[in-house]
């Protein structure tokens, strides 16, 4: 896969999705229903939802001034 295509996937879907897809391409000839479901789930993760999850995992309230300031960066 060309670097420009990978960059486009990263911009549109994020690194986790792109990494999972590249791994599937490199290691599989067919994709299982479970792998397809995982890929679809990764495609539906937004930058905002990922940031909210990481804030919460680190004990930071997304509604706090710090959380709000960070979330404005991904709107």
Where do the domains of the chain lie? 3-72
Per-residue pLDDT, 48: 85
pTM of the model: 0.62
Tens digits of residue pLDDT in 7-62: 989 888 888 999 999 999 999 888 899 999 999 999 888 888 888 999 999 999 99
Task: Tell me, letter by letter, the H, E, C secondary structure of the chain.
Answer: CCHHHHHHHHHHHCHHHHHHHHHHHHHCCCCCHHHHHHHHHHHCCCHHHHHHHHHHHCCCCCCCHHHHHHHHCCC
């Amino acid at each position: 896969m060309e670097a420009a295509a990978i960059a486009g996937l990263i911009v549109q879907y994020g690194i986790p999705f792109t990494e999972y897809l590249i791994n599937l391409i490199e290691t599989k000839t067919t994709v299982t229903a479970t792998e397809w479901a995982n890929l679809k789930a990764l495609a539906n993760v937004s930058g905002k939802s990922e940031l909210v999850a990481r804030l919460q995992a680190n004990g930071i309230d997304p509604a706090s001034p710090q959380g709000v300031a960070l979330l404005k960066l991904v709107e």
